[in-house]
Amino acid sequence: MRFVIVTGMSGAGKSTALKNLEDFGYFCVDNLPVELIPKFAEIAYDSKTDVNNVAIGVDIRSGEGIEKLSGYLDELKTQGYPFEILFLDASDEVIVKRYKETRRNHPLARGGRVESGILKERKKISFLRNMASYIIDTSNLLTREFRIELEKIFVDNKEYNSFIITIVSFGFKYGIPRDADLVFDVRFLPNPYYVPELKALTGNEKPVQDFVMNAPEAGIFLEKLQDMMNFLIPNYIKEGKNQLVIGIGCTGGKHRSVTLANGLHRILLSSNESVRIEHRDIEKDTITKG
């Protein structure tokens, strides 16, 4: 029996998480008054209750009750009812964007700016983040990727690494990714764009990969980048960071950056399952010139 409390920032994906958990066979209840959580746990853990796994959605909608939640969770521990906390987070920028797209009001904004509501909410539920068994930052996750992360934890029972790495290849002429934490420029490498038989291909194809990696500097760059990541990642995790966006750019984002991003992805994936890759501008050259 797994008793999961799904919580986190409004707009970070709690409803989506509960829908997925329901698909996985969990009995889900959203917005249960916090005062009822101990009684609900008692019923759920009763051997006569025909329930295998349970998920409860709890968030800032509980009002003042959210401040009492810590006490009720202590009560669960005292009564011997194991529970897990899934905390969903996202950057302020992403949450604001999601609220604007749905035209909903933030529960704590009271008709004011969404940003002020987000700030208040972060303070009120910070204790839940500190208590969380799992933290998933959904800022850069597609819906299907979010489902995969949930499945790893709550279906496959895999050890979860809450630190998610996203590698983005891009073209400088289309702008640096706004959410990039680290940006690397690989325009020092020979450009396949000027080789007629390679111009129309991308860094996902072997002829381009061979051309780029044939330059000694490409292999040295990857080795040094790997060494840097081996140093940075544990220290980012130590400081509580739960996601890292690495941008690798060339002129158009089609050849060199794609090749090197793929290389870094292979390296990091060998020691970390939560590594994503995105080739942001790989088709833009074709589109703009088509």
Q: What is the pLDDT of residue 273?
A: 62
pTM: 0.67
Give the Cα separation of 101 and 93 in Å (integer): 12
| DSSP category for residue 105 | P
Domain range summary for the chain, segments of one domain joined by + = 2-154, 164-289
In order along its 290 residues, the chain shows pLDDT tens digits of 899 999 999 889 999 999 999 999 999 999 888 899 999 999 999 888 888 899 999 988 776 678 888 899 999 999 999 999 999 999 888 888 888 887 777 777 766 778 888 888 898 888 998 899 899 989 888 898 899 889 989 998 876 666 889 999 999 999 999 889 999 999 999 999 999 999 999 999 999 999 999 999 999 999 999 999 999 998 988 887 878 999 999 999 999 999 999 999 999 988 776 788 999 999 887 655 54
Q: What is the pLDDT of residue 170?
A: 97
Q: What is the pLDDT of residue 104?
A: 76
Structure tokens at 281: 């501008």
DSSP letters of 149-194? HHHHHHTS-PPP---EEEEEEEEGGG---TT-SEEEE-TTS--GGG
Phi, psi at residue 192, to the nearest 5°? Answer: -65, -15
Number of H helices and number of E strands within the chain?
Answer: 11, 9
Q: Which CATH superfamily is domain 2-154 in?
A: P-loop containing nucleotide triphosphate hydrolases (3.40.50.300)
* Total Cβ atoms within 10 A of residue 129: 18
Q: What is the pLDDT of residue 237?
A: 83
Q: Which residues of 73-87 are buried (b: 16+ CB within 10 A; e: fewer)?
A: beebeeeebebebbb
Altogether, the residues listed in the chain come to a count of: 290
Q: What is the pLDDT of residue 172?
A: 96
Q: What is the pLDDT of residue 220?
A: 97
